[in-house]
Structures are given as structure tokens and as C-alpha cells.
Amino acid sequence: MTLALQVAAYALVPALAKVACERVKVLKALGPVVVCYAVGILAANLPFVTVAPGPAMSVNEASVALAIPLLLFSTELKKWLSLGPGLLIAFGLACASAIAAATLAGFTFRASTDEWWKVAGMLVGVYVGGTPNMNAIGIALETKSETFVLLNAADVVVGGAWLFVMLTVGQRVLLRFMKPFPASSSGEAHVAAEAPKLWSVKTLPSTTTALALALACVVASAGVAFGAAGKLDGTVVMLSLTTLALALSLVEKVRSLATASVLGEYLLLVFCVSVGSLADVSKLSGASVPLLLFVVMVVGLSVVFHVSLCKAFGIDVDTTLVSSTAAVFGPAFIPPVAAALKNKALLAPGITLGLAGLALGTYLGLFTAWALRSLGG
């Protein structure tokens, strides 16, 4: 595969995946994220396709760097405090559960990899925020590219299993020992607006402005890194990028850019294709098993801790599951889970929590990694 064709595929496959998911029932159930990962993984393992790892890594780093500010521009920080106390508590417990689970798993698998503290921090990032946070933390901590690729693959498998449970039997199982969502609140309707088209004549000014602001944030963050560290330090870049994007979200004109989040979500699909294309099964070995078990332990313990704590705090089943979705999967997965729960009242608040996770994930993940490095000696 030529370099030009490879880069073009990264840009075009997400568009084709979105169209396919709209028209094919089975693919619609999977969603564009899973489809894009699958296409990338398939390309990586076809004998007649050669994927150059250098361009793939460059594309996924660039796509995440631009996606983070685009997704955060629409953040309404004031709304975080306007959420019900139950939702805020449940989400806080989800974050604490992820940190505790990653810490325990980190020390358990400490002898398996010298990057155990980095892996723990990256998993906190993804299970508080999402894949962009995990990649941001990996870049900041200069994690090996093979570690990052394996973690992504393990996250798709293990996280997908928990998502399947929530979409099918999760509510019924938890109702056996947790209280149901208050009936008086379940009738609140919320109709999601249709996502605007990125490059239509009407939305072109919004799209170009959002992209220009995102590029400016990346350049400014790189400048801060050079000024503070004398080099393109990943930690400084990602922390500056997140902070600057949140600061800009306080400006109403920036927050109201209609296509910013749509463009950010599209870039995440580009990221999914590029990361999947690095998952060459022939290059995996027994060394990948500890990382897979690391992820299994983090996901398993964080779910157990979160559900147990929500039960102790008297939080209902639906709020528990939606807050878990917001933390583990992010805002894009709130609609299907809310639909499975038949609870439209939690749709908009759940999406808000997911955005909060994207904003907090990098901070909490880096804090966890640095703390574990210090404790681990």
C-alpha cells in the first residue's frame, strides 16, 4: 500500500463506515467505532496489504491532538454542577473505582512490564474519559508504540464485553439487589438533534473556524512545551491542550460552533482505523497476555467497585449504568445504553458526564501514573 493510499484510506474509511452503519442493520448495532477498528485490524492482517507503521502512528497522534480540543469546545462546565447529586456522586465513584482498580492491577503486574505505571495511568485515562485520553497519556509518558497498540486491542475486546452486558442483561441483573430508577423521573423526554453536516454551505464557516481553533490550540500547546521544557514534551503539550480547550469552551461563540464535536468524532474514527491497522496479529507474542490480563483486571475490578459503592450510596440501577457508560466509553455510547434502559431522562445528563470524563481523564490518568511511579520506586 502506497503512503498516499494509506493516508487516504484513513481519511475515507470513517465516512464509508458511517454510511454503512446507517444502511445495514447489523453494522448499525455495532456502530462506526467498532466498524472502523475492525476495518483497520483486517487491513493489518491481510497478506496482500502492507501497512507502514510510521504514517499510522503519525495519523493517530495528529487525529487525537485535533480531536481533543474539538470535543471539548462544546463543554458546558456550569452544567456539571447542575446535574443531580446522584449522577455526580455515581460518576465520581466511577472515577475513584477506575483509579483504585488500575492501582491494584499495576502492582499486581509490576513484574510483567517496566511500563506498568504508564499502563495503569493510560487505563485510568480511558476508563474515566476515553480513547483520546489514553493516547494523550501514552504520548505524554512516551509509552512504547507496541504497548499502546496492544492496550487498544485489549480495550476493544474487554470493554466490548462490558458494553454487551449493559445493553442486554445488566439492568435486570442489578435490579435484583439495587433500587430502580425513580418512576417520576423516567418520563422526561429528550430528542437528540440530527448531527449537522461538516462541509455543507451552511456549516462550512463553523467547520473551518472549529478546525482553525483546534490547530491554534495544538500550535500554542507545542509553543508552551518548547518554552517550558525546551523540547516538544508530550506531558506539557497534552495538559496545555486540554486546559486551553476548556478555557475556550467558556467563550459562548466557541461553545456554539455546531460542527466542532462532529468533526472531533470523525477524527476519532480516523484514529480507530489507524490504530486498528497497527494490530498485526503475526507480531503478537506471549508478551501480550499480561497486558490483556491487566485490562481484564482493571475493567473487572472497576465495575465491581463502582456497583458496590453505588449500592452503598443508595444510587439506582439506571444512574449506575449510565455513569459507568459515561466513564468507561464516553458520550458517544450514552444514547444506545439509555435506549436499552428505556430511560430518556438520563440521555442528556449522561452525555454531559461523558464530556466531563473527556476533560478529566488526562489529568487523572497522568496523576495516577506519576503517583504509582513514585510509590513503586
pLDDT tens digits along 269-284: 888 788 778 776 665 5
Closest among 171, 178, 182, 173 to 314, alpha carbons compared = 178
E strand or H helix at 139, and its extent? Answer: helix 131-140
Answer with the residue of higher pLDDT: 13 or 334: 13
Q: Which residue has the cell 514534551?
A: 233
d(CA 258, CA 265): 13
pLDDT at 310 (0 to 100): 95
Quote the Cα angle for 182-186-191, to 5°. 155
Q: Which residues of 140-149 are buried (b: 16+ CB within 10 A; e: fewer)?
A: bbebeeebbb
Mean pLDDT of the chain: 83
- The pTM of the full predicted model, rounded to 2 decimals, is 0.69
Determine contact, residues 353/329, Cβ cutoff 8 Å. Answer: no
Q: Is the pLDDT of residue 87 over 70?
A: yes
Determine contact, residues 21/256, Cβ cutoff 8 Å. Answer: no
Closest among 373, 325, 376 to 165, alpha carbons compared = 325
pLDDT at 365 (0 to 100): 94
pLDDT tens digits along 34-73: 788 788 888 888 888 888 878 887 887 788 788 888 888 8
Closest among 272, 62, 270 to 160, alpha carbons compared = 272
User: CA separation (Å) from 83 to 90, 94, 160, 356, 375?
Assistant: 11, 16, 27, 11, 35
Give the number of residues written for the chain: 377
Q: What is the DSSP string of 145-198?
A: HHHHHHHHHHHHHHHHHHHHHHHHTHHHHHTTTSPPPPGGGTT----PPPPPPT
Rounded average pLDDT over 148-159: 79
